[in-house]
Structure 1
Amino acid sequence: MPMDVTTRAEEEKLINALSTPILKVWSNTIALPLISEFDIVRFDLLICAVLEECSSNQIEFVLLN
């Protein structure tokens, strides 16, 4: 049975969110726990997520762990 396109897109969005967790530490600071290896696709997702978080929430500092 073919998977619903909406369901597939939602699953991909969830997987991407889980692969790049962003933790809010303080009102202007986030932390990124870098787990496992990064390929170019995962790195692109990380950069996009961080930039979106910084611009939408006035984040000034990003801690990498």
Structure 2
Amino acid sequence: MAILKVIELLANSDKSWEDAAQKALDQASRSVDHIRSVYINEQSATVKDGKIDDYRVNVKITFEVK
């Protein structure tokens, strides 16, 4: 039986929600091994001059504890 753990991260990007999620995964991968999934819990954005200025995601990353 595998034991899984979930951590929650907030990340942002000036490009896209996908890029923000990738940044969260990249950051988590620096200190966590055996990542199995990324769940996008929430998406939001800030607006400046009528355009999206910053994409934000709240993600849950699941990884196996060895």
TM over 0.5: no
Using the size of structure 1 for normalisation, the TM-score is: 0.31
Using the size of structure 2 for normalisation, the TM-score is: 0.30
